[in-house]
Chains A and B, each alone.
Chain A
């Protein structure tokens, strides 16, 4: 990839990220952070390449450690975000008296 193409990708993606995130309600700040954190585990792609390149043992071990760390980041990040978001779902409580969950009424 041409260096300028790569830089263009980078700049465009930063602008896109800013546009995507600007209006997030504070309620979702934590899940957004842990979810985007899981996405930053994309380094796993590079880690797989490093661990599988079969260059010499030392770089393979570095790659292995990178795969492990990135995988913790990815699996843990997405799972914990899912757990958190699950709590934010609107709940229908069976034990609540009828009509009490309405809010404004």
Chain B
């Protein structure tokens, strides 16, 4: 590798750092992303110009094919489908790292130049990359709701055995570099582990998984960097690995669960707590769009608390129309965003931004909670566990201690929901039966459109 290549990589690394820095502020984020893309372009160009590239036919084919597919996916995806796409891209990054490590290891194996360091790095890259690849595909399937399989009894024993086998194959790769069989066995075990680890996780835990897979795709690039002895892969991969870990941490704190708890004891069960009948019987009040419109008409401050149901019902534009209508009447409208609402970090913010709702109106949990007492009407739209007051009151509940949005403290709570079915935690929500709550049953988008219409007729 010549000096120009090294300098080009340095420039790319600096651009990645500046880009990530700018991505963390709304005003500079667009520029930050452009910095990142420029850095990537420089990295690709100096690599192509480097003497170590001998044949270009396959490269051009891969570049054109990948760019076309990537661009198509990016342009066509709907904002509600963003978690799936991010999961998919994570997986492709991890998959690419496996293939890079495999190609380098096989070449070194053929030439008998595989050092212990190269082999060990290739083993790590294969394992992490393969796990990221299949784990992301499973996450993709779960987010699309086309995959409901969540494992089989005794799966944990298989996982532990698989992890032990992975370590063994990794050691064999180092000891016996002449035989690529160990590499492929390790890749296979990594792929199976990805499936086993992600399959049992679902629903509200998805933001944690996606952030973690994001981090792993960076770590796979780091390992590939150690294989190729490439400083840029190490630096850029570490930056991504670190940012993914921080997001994972933020998501775990927002759910008051530890990462091991999310990964290894998923699906909290609602067993043992009060049954749905005890909580709801005779106390749930159902309401109509017209009645909600009457309430809103006299409200001075309205808070909207969206959840995953907003994404499912594609209700973001309908909500925007309702908010505009209310604001024209002089009502203050704010949006309360729980950090883990939706299926990936920041999911709600993206959807509401798509509907052109200013991000200044999206209030974080810690900032909006003290203001619910001064809020006349709170509309809960497709959210459940993140507004369940049991988290504050019942220490034995599966969600005990999870920070929630204190919507029950506002004047009136209107819950728009299809039914009284429980959320991901599987427990009934006393909010639905509270004296100041009423349920508006139905599809989220239709319900909001109905309220807006009724409001116009007043």
On A, residues with C-beta under 8 Å from B are 1, 3, 6, 9-10, 13-18, 20-56, 58-91, 93, 100, 103
Q: Pick the contact of B238: A10, A32, A65, A77 (CB < 8 A).
A: A10
Collect the chain A residues with CB atoms within 8 Å of residue B239's CB.
Answer: 13-14, 16-17, 20, 36, 39
Q: Point out which of A15, A22, A32 has the most chain B C-beta atoms below 10 A from its C-beta.
A: A32
Distance of A75 from chain B, by nearest CB (Å):
3
What 1/0 mask marks residues of chain B from 51 to 91 whose CB sits below 8 Å from any chain A CB? Answer: 01111101101110111011101110101001001100110
Judge whether A46 and B225 touch: CB under 8 Å.
yes
**A78 to B36, Cβ gap below 8 A?**
yes
Given A38-B89, A62-B99, A87-B350, A77-B70 contact (CB < 8 Å): yes
Tell me the B residues contacting A by CB distance below 8 Å: 9, 16-17, 19-21, 23-26, 29-30, 32-34, 36-37, 39-40, 43-44, 47-48, 52-56, 58-59, 61-63, 65-67, 69-71, 73-75, 77, 79, 82, 85-86, 89-90, 92-93, 95-97, 99-100, 102-104, 106-107, 110, 117, 210-211, 214, 217-218, 220-222, 224-247, 250, 327-328, 337, 339, 344-347, 349-350, 353-354, 356, 358-360, 362, 364
The CA of A46 and the CA of B52, in the complex, are separated in Å by: 11
Would you give the shortest CB distance from B177 to chain A, in whole angstroms? Answer: 15
Q: A9 contacts which chain B residues (CB < 8 A)?
A: 231, 234-235, 238
The answer on a CB contact under 8 Å between B54 and A52 is yes
Q: Could you tell me the distance between the alpha carbons of A88 and B210 in the complex, rounded to whole angstroms? A: 22
Cβ–Cβ contact A66 & B96, under 8 A:
yes
Interface SS of A by simple majority? helix
Q: How far is the CA of A83 from the CA of B47 in the complex (A)?
A: 28
Contact of B47 among A1, A27, A49, A69 (CB under 8 A): A49
Q: Are A71 and B62 in contact (CB under 8 A)?
A: yes
Chain B residues, CB < 8 A from A22: 246
